[in-house]
Structure 1
Amino acid sequence: MSHEEKRHWERKFAVYSMGNSTSRLYSALAKTLSDGAVSKHQEYLEQTDPDLLDPIDPKDLLEECQIVLQKRPARLQREFVDLTANFARNHQPIRVMQWNILAQALGEGKDNFVQCPLEALRWEERKCLILEEILAYQPDILCLQEVDHYFDTFQPLLSRMGYQSTFFPKPWSPCLDVECNNGPDGCALFFLKDRFTLVNSTNIRLTAMKLKTNQVAIAQTLKCNETGKLFCIAVTHLKARNGWERFRYAQGSDLLENLKVITQEAKIPLIVCGDFNAEPTEMVYKEFSNSSLNLNSAYKLLSADGLSEPPYTTWKIRPSGECRHTLDYIWYSQHALKVSAALRLLTEEQIGPNRLPSFNYPSDHLSLVCDFSFNEDPDRLL
């Protein structure tokens, strides 16, 4: 960030000064406004101890993001659907958010969103749109894909809000082919330390036909501090593009085999979040549906029959035409866990004719958010 740019942001934030709290937040947020803020990410992370930094109140950070975004359209509003009919809840729900946030390098350099102005993709503001979406729903667990600003943005800020996190980059990230990239993209998993204790963490490089691939997953066993119960949360991002259906099937099968070991053949409840790059008609979807881990897809519960996936989770326009697909899922152990609420998707009218991303939505994928509760019947099978 140049001296002139820094003075611009100082003047802008001074207008909205709210005391010491704001000045602390400004220094945290402004530090991430420059793509070149961190040159050696791992060294930066090792030198930054979140316990030595002032905590951030999510409401204050949300206000700061809204100041940056004041010239953009207001955030698109979505409602939670209550799914708790005849369900007695005796512990605080676990809110899980799944989101492919769109890697900055890919959005600007490779993805060819022909109806999205380049100005809408500027990191200084798009970053705040991403944070605004996360802060609006305040997930207990956050599962992200296409994260290429983990070390200089999401880890520093979210750690100060009480999140512990893990990042696993792709071995050959396409972001690295883009000039002025910010490093490789990958999967990231965040959880609130006051709600959960990390028991085990596994980084998985997915295989297909016994060969290591460019796709990855993170699987963590957590203990719920309120109930003492264990569960496993996993995040992944499978291979994209048409013609790779068998490859995705092999990757999904490999992930399931790993998860069977981690959950001790389903003795530990499981939640799997991901951009599978696969429609419900694909083999990998059916493999998850029919797995011995007894998984169900949470967003099916929003359909009238409880059996159908949403009509889309991503909607964009590329040179080849309009791309409207259901690719993102939150799978869960359906006998051990219940979905007590789920966030509705944006409507076609809200998305608008130019589709995503846009000035008021930062990614080409919609976020999925669900509230989970443990089934209290100990005699039920997972």
Structure 2
Amino acid sequence: LVGGLLTVLGLGCVGPWLTVAGVRGSIRFERRRCRVGETIEAIVTTFGRSGMRGLGIVDGETGASLGPLDASPGGDRRLVLRPAARGRFPRMPPAVESDAPFGLVRARRALEVDRPVVVWPITVPVRFPAALVDAVRHGREVSDRVAGTAGDVLGVRPYRRGDTVRAIHWAHTARQDAVMVCERPGVGGPTVRVIVDRLAPPGLSDAVWSRTLDALVATAASLVESWVPRGIAVDLEWAGSAIHRPRTRRGLEAALDALACLEPATRADDVAHPVPSQPRPTDLDICLTTPGRRASFTGTRARALRAAGGWHPRLLVMVDPSGADLDRAPRGMRREDEIELVLPIDRPAATLDRLLAEIGHDPDAPRS
């Protein structure tokens, strides 16, 4: 009796490993990209033979069952998967699992992933604050064209509604007995710098910070995906990374791929001061951070850069992980020519869109 029991136990422990040892497989996806919550199809190809039953495919990260396999694996099997988080999917490859013949032990053998899928965050349309940008661009146009080195302005035209007083050419106004303004050369479209702060504020748990960073990434992705197709030049960056300047469809996809795979900062010394690596004049700077990191964007270092004509956080957007009451009344504060906004962690991009509507927006912009 004891010998028979030991035989059963031995077979129950060794059997699953012998089953999966004879099975090899791979998984490939028909799409390169998807969004959080979307369903994607995967093709699982298995090789090898086993006369034992109890084979199945399980999620490598959660262990959840994805479906059974035949007793004699071989050929292709289609699976429908639904990524629940941004980044590369799957984070851990699915595996072939067996508990045959008695269910005493479970053995797994990971499948090879031909090419992971990049899962983009869910985005919403965000209107562009054209009125805010126009106020910045007015004083930064190129200089007037003049005749020679000290001649008169070459380009003038009659006054039109909306022209400012500083554009009036007083000499020509006196000669023509009508208000004349300087006609400046046209400039390109607006340039926006979006900075994502990936350093956790002090006192925040890893789980809460991961959720907060996801909200920051989703907000940045919403801005980029809403504005780049409209011809707005967006510079996307975060400390420790090269600047992404998506100008084409392929560039936009690369920027969204980088955002989707953005990881939290691991060394505080590298990103303690989130200053752009290549400061250059822009029409609008949008800094995405948390209230606990506000001082890094408004402190002495930021003011020194502003005085030097470099980077300057004009629109400071902070996602508050503890601001449940912000769903109804998100906070906003205007200080000189800077605007600070505090958004809830749930649907921050949609809340930002509503606040930008109050600040000033382009009527032709998309709405959520």
TM-score w.r.t. the length of structure 1 is 0.32
Higher CA-based Rg: 2
TM-score, length-scaled by structure 2: 0.33
Identify the structure with bigger relative contact order (alpha carbons < 8 Å, sequence gap 6+): 1
